[in-house]
Chain A
Amino acid sequence: MSPYRVIRQGVTSLGTHKLRTFFMLSGTMVGIAALVVIMAIGEATERRVMQRVNNFGPTAMMLIPGGGRDLPPPDPNVTTLMPDDAEAIREQVDGLTVVSPMVRQMAVTLRYKGNQFQAGVFGIRSNWHAAWNWEASEGTGITEQDVATLSRVCVLGQTVKRELFGDTAPLQERIYVGKIGFTVKGVLEERGVSPGGGDMDARVVIPITTAMRRVFNMEHLSMIRILTDDLELLPEQTRAIRTLIRERHHIRRPEEDDFRIVTPMGIAEMVRGISGTLSALLTALAGLSLVVGGIVLMNILLISVTERRKEIGLRRAVGARRRDILLQFLTESLSVSLLGMFIGGLVGWGVTKLLVRTTSIAATLAWEPFALGAVCALLVGLLFGLQPARRAAKLHPVEALR
């Protein structure tokens, strides 16, 4: 007795009842296709999250003035974040590698000979380079000596260099930041587009002291960039910094913070945000459609057991045992759901490609949805095929032949 021939009976039966087979596999197909598309979108979201977190710095925090929960830019009207705050954090919170205060102003007019360009100007300490892992590719960066002497030197972003100097060499040239003349001592590495979509290279960095006293005439900070030693410690450090700053700013219980601490987790949460909820919902829907597909499969199989009583009776009469009938019907349901998986996987793959090509929805295909789809299809085939198969096997040959 070879099960192989019984299995072949099941497969042949599917081949000869094409319409019925199509209806049986359609549910599984739609479910798997939906699963593939949704997981591709989810995967793309996850990658974007990873990319943003990496851009931000996986071990970084940013302390910015102004309450609320949104991401930067910092609120320029809140003037409570002071250089002393940065000092206090550096001294009192353990396990931090870098505490880098900075000030900035957006859209400052820069001039070099006949050329003009508007860019952000950032007043920094020397440790800014380490805090952003962003060094000068030509010349040198800002040093502590520059900061101590309030020197009028600047380091240009690539975009600024291009706009002001074109192809000529910028080093040791003199440019005007607002009304004050600066000597170009370096050019920063290219960084490209920021996570927020801005041009990160459209900037000039100058010593923080020069910026505060000679250019902007401001006392408060725009931001403190903080790097931690150990990602494990980050939540604890965030809490410590928050307590410290609230204390220093004399903020009492019901009052809200006048600052925000942005963490990689916060960034990830924000990027996932709506798309995360949406993709969870859609995944649930795909699961639901698989279940519905399974129920459709089961019902068609149950109907087909009733319809094929005579066939079952005949098979029993010529010697099929109960388990042969069971095997045949299980083969049918499993083949159908696996076939549904293959077609659904192809459809999902196609739809994903189409989405990426024709819409702005990001989607990345990986192997996981296909693996999960295969498992789901197997489960659907077994789970929803078993009941009809058992009913078929239980039919008494005499009843079936009647």
Chain B
Amino acid sequence: MLENVSLRIDVGEYVAIMGASGTGKTTLLNILGCLDSPTSGSYCINGTEVDNLDDDALSHLRNRQIGFVFQLFNLLERATLIENVLLPLVYAEFYPADAEQRAVDALSAVGLQDRLYYRPNELSGGQQQRVAIARALINNPALILADEPTGNLDSRSGTEILAILQRLNREGRTILMVTHDRAVAEHADRILTLEDGRIAEERKILHPRDAGAELSELAAKERIDESV
């Protein structure tokens, strides 16, 4: 349930949405992801009015403009990584001639170039989420929607995922992340807090946490632990 939510996300922004469960986070995410249309009001993505579009048009819009990253990764268990990453292109209007190369590039971008023909169950959770990110990149979408991307990961893998998202953001990707974890949200440039279906608080983060730096710290700490 959402009420009176007005929100603008600019190209190249990294926005986090926070809120306890039942505050409308998921509903907002569904609307932003073109999975559902608002009962009233309007939503415009990359110049396209989303309200009043039929199911086929919404599907097409998701395919073109949105890259999803889910909490539970949602990979095809029996398909190889490259097949998983290629999935959005199966439903694309035109299957690009360089599809395979693009999948390889996307997997390289998340550091899995050596595992193209592995299957998800041969990977750790963090690696699986990286495959999901590669899948979200393959269509070159206007917006990457990450729904609790670290929710199912240990803190180290979670930090790795956050580092990848931050790097993608620095490369110009627009990212919207939903989380209930303040520490995770503070990696974004802007945090919106939802309460009872309204935006209760909007905060700019002047100095977002740097996941890359946190990773180095973690590594240093591990080295000390080992030497003790």
User: Could you say which residues of chain B place their CB within 8 Å of the CB of A317?
Assistant: 33, 35, 62, 66, 68, 74
A5 to B139, CA, bound (A): 16
Within 8 A of B (CB), among A58-110: none
Report if A319-B70 is in contact (Cβ < 8 Å); known contacts: A9-B90, A16-B78.
Answer: no
**Interface: A296 (CB within 8 A):** no
CB distance from B78 to the nearest CB of A (A): 4
The reply to whether B74 and A313 contact each other, CB–CB distance below 8 Å, is yes
User: Could you say which residues of chain B place their CB within 8 Å of the CB of A318?
Assistant: 62-63, 68, 87-88, 91, 135
User: Could you say which residues of chain A place their CB within 8 Å of the CB of B139?
Assistant: 319
- Write out, one digit per residue, whether chain A residues 276-313 have a CB within 8 A of any chain B CB (1) or not (0): 00000000000000000000000000000000001101
User: Could you say which residues of chain A place their CB within 8 Å of the CB of B70?
Assistant: 314, 401
User: Could you say which residues of chain A place their CB within 8 Å of the CB of B93?
Assistant: 1
Scoring A9, A315, A318, A401 by chain B CB atoms within 10 A of each residue's CB, the highest score goes to A318
**Interface: A214 (CB within 8 A):** no
Report if A321-B59 is in contact (Cβ < 8 Å); known contacts: A2-B95, A16-B78.
Answer: yes
**Interface: B220 (CB within 8 A):** no
Report if A311-B60 is in contact (Cβ < 8 Å); known contacts: A1-B93, A2-B95, A317-B33.
Answer: no
User: Could you say which residues of chain B place their CB within 8 Å of the CB of A321?
Assistant: 55-56, 59-60, 91
Number of interface residues of A (CB under 8 A): 27
**Interface: A271 (CB within 8 A):** no
User: Could you say which residues of chain B place their CB within 8 Å of the CB of A322?
Assistant: 55-56, 59
Within 8 A of A (CB), among B90-104: 90-95
- Write out, one digit per residue, whether chain A residues 358-401 have a CB within 8 A of any chain B CB (1) or not (0): 00000000000000000000000000000000000000111001
CB distance from A29 to the nearest CB of B (A): 23
User: Could you say which residues of chain A place their CB within 8 Å of the CB of B63?
Assistant: 318-319
User: Could you say which residues of chain B place their CB within 8 Å of the CB of A311?
Assistant: 76
The reply to whether A319 and B35 contact each other, CB–CB distance below 8 Å, is no
CB closest residue in chain A, given B91: A319
A385 to B91, CA, bound (A): 22
**Interface: B2 (CB within 8 A):** no
A367 to B76, CA, bound (A): 41
The reply to whether A17 and B78 contact each other, CB–CB distance below 8 Å, is yes
- Select one of B90, B94, B135 contacting A6, CB under 8 A: B90
**Interface: A275 (CB within 8 A):** no
A398 to B63, CA, bound (A): 15
CB distance from B90 to the nearest CB of A (A): 5
Report if A316-B59 is in contact (Cβ < 8 Å); known contacts: A1-B92, A16-B79.
Answer: yes
User: Could you say which residues of chain B place their CB within 8 Å of the CB of A270?
Assistant: none
- Write out, one digit per residue, whether chain A residues 1-23 have a CB within 8 A of any chain B CB (1) or not (0): 11001100100110011000000
The reply to whether B91 and A320 contact each other, CB–CB distance below 8 Å, is yes
CB closest residue in chain B, given A310: B74
Q: Indicate the size class of the contact surface on chain B.
A: 20 to 34
CB distance from B80 to the nearest CB of A (A): 10
User: Could you say which residues of chain A place their CB within 8 Å of the CB of B83?
Assistant: 12
**Interface: A324 (CB within 8 A):** yes
**Interface: B51 (CB within 8 A):** no
**Interface: B36 (CB within 8 A):** yes
A319 to B74, CA, bound (A): 14
CB distance from A124 to the nearest CB of B (A): 80
**Interface: B21 (CB within 8 A):** no
User: Could you say which residues of chain A place their CB within 8 Å of the CB of B88?
Assistant: 318-319
- Select one of A1, A2, A314, A323 contacting B74, CB under 8 A: A314
- Select one of B55, B66, B90 contacting A5, CB under 8 A: B90
Report if A398-B35 is in contact (Cβ < 8 Å); known contacts: A16-B78, A320-B59.
Answer: yes
A322 to B83, CA, bound (A): 21
CB distance from A319 to the nearest CB of B (A): 2
A397 to B88, CA, bound (A): 15
**Interface: B42 (CB within 8 A):** no
The reply to whether A398 and B30 contact each other, CB–CB distance below 8 Å, is yes
A315 to B63, CA, bound (A): 10
Within 8 A of B (CB), among A28-48: none
A310 to B35, CA, bound (A): 14
CB distance from B23 to the nearest CB of A (A): 17
The reply to whether B62 and A1 contact each other, CB–CB distance below 8 Å, is no
- Write out, one digit per residue, whether chain A residues 334-366 have a CB within 8 A of any chain B CB (1) or not (0): 000000000000000000000000000000000
CB closest residue in chain B, given A402: B26
CB distance from B160 to the nearest CB of A (A): 22
The reply to whether B60 and A319 contact each other, CB–CB distance below 8 Å, is yes
A12 to B92, CA, bound (A): 19
A323 to B94, CA, bound (A): 17
User: Could you say which residues of chain B place their CB within 8 Å of the CB of A324?
Assistant: 59, 91
The reply to whether A1 and B91 contact each other, CB–CB distance below 8 Å, is yes
- Write out, one digit per residue, whether chain B residues 51-89 have a CB within 8 A of any chain A CB (1) or not (0): 000011001101110101010101010110001000110
User: Could you say which residues of chain B place their CB within 8 Å of the CB of A1?
Assistant: 91-94
The reply to whether B35 and A397 contact each other, CB–CB distance below 8 Å, is yes
CB closest residue in chain A, given B87: A318
User: Could you say which residues of chain B place their CB within 8 Å of the CB of A323?
Assistant: 56
A303 to B172, CA, bound (A): 43
User: Could you say which residues of chain B place their CB within 8 Å of the CB of A320?
Assistant: 59, 90-91
> Can you name 23 A-B pairs with beta carbons within 8 Å?
A12-B79, A310-B74, A311-B76, A314-B87, A316-B62, A317-B35, A317-B62, A317-B68, A317-B74, A318-B63, A318-B88, A318-B135, A319-B60, A319-B62, A319-B88, A319-B91, A319-B92, A319-B139, A320-B59, A322-B55, A322-B56, A324-B91, A401-B74
5 closest residue pairs by CB, A with B: A319-B63, A16-B78, A319-B91, A318-B88, A321-B59
Known A6-B91, A316-B62; further 6 A-B contacts with Cβ < 8 A: A5-B90, A317-B74, A321-B55, A321-B56, A321-B59, A397-B35
